Each structure stands twice: as structure tokens, then as C-alpha cells.
Amino acid sequence: MNVINVMWSGGAPYMSVHKVHRQILCHVADDAEISNWLLLGEGMCSGMGAIREWHMPARVLKGRRFWRLLMPWLHRRLRVALEHARPDVLLLDGMGVARLILPLMHHFPNTRVVVLFHGTTRMRGRDIRLLRMLPANRLSIAAVSRTLGQALEQALGRSVHTLRIALDPQVFAASLFDRDQARRSLALPQQSGLVFGAVGRLVESKGFEMLIEAFARVCRQHLDVRLVILGDGELRERLSARVEALGLGDSVQLCGYRSDLSQLYRAFDWLLVPSRSEGLGLVLQEAVLADVPVLCSDLPVFREQLGQAGRYLPVGDESAWVRAIEECNTLNEQQTAVSQRRALDPEQAWQAFSQGSRAVFKGSGSAPEQR
């Protein structure tokens, strides 16, 4: 089987998307030939197989204003490349990539397509028509959570595979640093107070601006706490400036992207996930697998994973986050972590994800339901 994984962008801000696609691709047949096309940006943070960087102009890809006049040129380039590669399956990274690739599929009647959605997308009428263009035996639509899948089914009027992304718990645990090693790697000073972590792209939807404001209020009463934010993105400079303006230089640490990010969770006493929206929120799973308790926004996708064991807060409610962070000093971290791991049930989740991934690539039936 020849599989081409077409990604919207390379680079550190898209690490979690790369990781998700790699998890899926590892379930393709052992003799499969896998290659990755990056339309924008450079470098795969997590992947397998050959990489081709297209360096396409972002304005052309988005098709805005007169830039859309160059779309036929992009389509010709892609068609020639696809004719040369002759893929059996295309794995497409969301609606942005689907808009570019699906119009070419009438030239390749023997190629199957899997469109993977990572988060909520504003579906326009032409998007819905595009996704209905190919029959179900040629096009599989998959979502990284049941919550997202149900929303897509309602919008599209066709079946969507629930493919809730999961990690192999044994492999992930084996890669983790222990607490002391992780804290040394982050150059964290010895301290008596709690260390809170936050992980993700530095973009509006992750809620880090609100989190920094809330943490500033916590620090007025608890001088010994620390917040470590791992990740990079378009808000890096704004967040850094706000940390400095609030005088949080000794309490809030912006570490940027790190290649060992997924090994560092045990440096934290708690993981904070203040997202305003999520397709899945893989960092929640990673923290639970590292036995780190999670405090998160009250989003359906998080309740889907943690059920009654989750500690949920209203989205964007700064005062609620202040109270909850302060309350962490009185909670039993280990007990919370144990109950959240039991709710996530990572072994069963990994088995269901593995079966679902294979089913999607074979184009047979629906992915197994994950609770």
C-alpha cells in the first residue's frame, strides 16, 4: 500500500497534529510505503516515512481575493505529483487540505481518501458539497473524538468515523523522565510550592492569556507556586510581554517548543488545560498517562475522556480558575491522578483506536465505538 499523508503545515506549532497522524499511520500495513507532504512550513515534529516540503504560498492556499487565480497552477503541480506517486490512500489533514486535494480526485479513480478532522471547522456549503462528491467506498471522514464526530455528522449528513486518538500506554510511560530528571531538564529551582504545567500551541483557542492573568492573582497569595508553559505559536511575544508586565518573571516560565516535551510531564504537580475549544486535547491524555492530575475547561470532549473523574472549570472564567488553582494545595494529587487514569482507561482506549485506524484505512465499516 502506498500512502501519502498531506499536512497543512510543518514546524513546532503543529507538533500535536503531526503526532496524531503518526499514531494513525503506525497502524497501516507493515509493508506500506508512507510519505508526508507539508504544504506550508518546514519539518515534521513526529512522523514516519519520507518528507516533501512544498513551500506553497499561504495566501494562495487560502484562496482569498485575487490569489485564488493561482489555484489552477497549484492544482496542476499537485496533479503531476500525484500521477508520479500513484498513491493507494491519501490521508488529509482537515478541511483546509481537503479543499485543495479533493477537486483532483476525479483524475484518480483508484485512490481512496481519508479526511481527518482535529477540531471544529466552519463548514460552508461548498465544503459540504465537496465532501459529498466522493462515495463512501472512496472517501472516509474521521474525527479525533466522538464529540467532534457527532457534530460533523450533523453538519454533513453522512457517516463519520469516531477515531478517538489514543497513545500506547506502555510505550509512552517508558519514554517519560522521572520527576527529578524532568525538573532538572527544565532548570526548575528547588521549591516548596506546587509546579503547574500547561502544554500547547500559543494561540487564542488554548486560553493561555486568561491562565496567566489568573496565575498572577494566585501569586499574590502564594509566592512559592510556579507555572511552566511548553509550546510555541503566534502569541509567544504577547504572552512574554504580559508575563513581564505583571512581574511574573520568577513565577511563570515560557519554555517554547522542546523536542522532549512529551517526556517532561512528571515535572508538574498539576497540568492546567484552559482551552476555549478542542477537537481532542491530547495533552490531557499524556498527563494522565504520566500520573499527573489535570484541571481543565468544561468542554464536552474532556468530559468524553475523563467523565466524573475530571475537574472542570467554566471556559474563560478567570476567577474560577484562581479558586481552583489555589484549591490544588488542599487536594490529594495522587488520588486524583489514579481516578482520572481509571476513567480514561488507556489500555482499552489504545486497543479501540488501533482497531479503528486499521478499519479506516481498509475502508470497511465504522471505527469501533470508544466510551
For the 2-163 domain, the top CATH level (class) is alpha beta
Q: What share of the chain is helix, strand, coil (3-state, %, to 5)?
A: 50, 15, 35
The distance in angstroms from the start CA to the end CA of the chain is: 31
pLDDT of residue 45: 83
Please name the helix (run of DSSP H) or strand (run of DSSP E) that holds residue 129, with its range, or none. helix 125-131
Question: Mind giving me the DSSP string for 248-282?
Answer: -TTTEEEEE--TTGGG-GGG-SEEEE--S--S--H
Per-residue pLDDT of the chain (371 residues; tens, 9 = 90+): 899 999 999 988 888 899 999 999 988 877 889 999 999 988 888 888 999 999 988 887 877 767 778 888 899 999 999 999 999 999 999 999 999 999 999 999 999 999 999 988 888 899 999 999 999 899 999 999 999 999 999 999 889 998 888 999 999 999 999 999 999 999 998 878 999 999 999 999 999 999 999 999 999 999 899 999 999 999 999 999 999 999 998 899 999 999 899 999 999 999 999 999 999 999 999 999 999 999 999 999 999 999 999 999 999 999 999 999 999 999 999 999 999 999 999 999 999 999 999 888 876 444 444 44
Query: How would you classify the pairing of strands 226-230 and 294-297?
Result: unpaired
Q: At what angle do helices 15-25 and 346-362 cross, to 10 degrees?
A: 70
CATH fold label, 169-345:
Rossmann fold (3.40.50)
Tell me, yes or no, if the pTM score tops 0.85. yes
Q: For the chain, which residues make up each domain, given as ranges?
A: 2-163, 169-345
Residue 98 burial (CB count, 10 A): 23
Which residue's entry shows cell 500559543?
202
**What pLDDT sits at residue 32?**
86
**What length is written for the chain?**
371
pLDDT of 363 reads: 67
Q: How many CB atoms lie within 10 A of CB 127?
A: 17
In this predicted structure, what is the pLDDT of residue 371?
45
Count how many Cα atoms sit within 13 Å of the Cα of residue 297 in the half-sphere of its side chain. Answer: 23
Task: Give the Cα separation of 346 and 138 in Å (integer).
Answer: 31
Farthest-apart Cα atoms in the chain, separation: 65
| Number of separate helices (H) and strands (E) present in the chain | 15, 13
pLDDT given for residue 367 in this prediction? 45
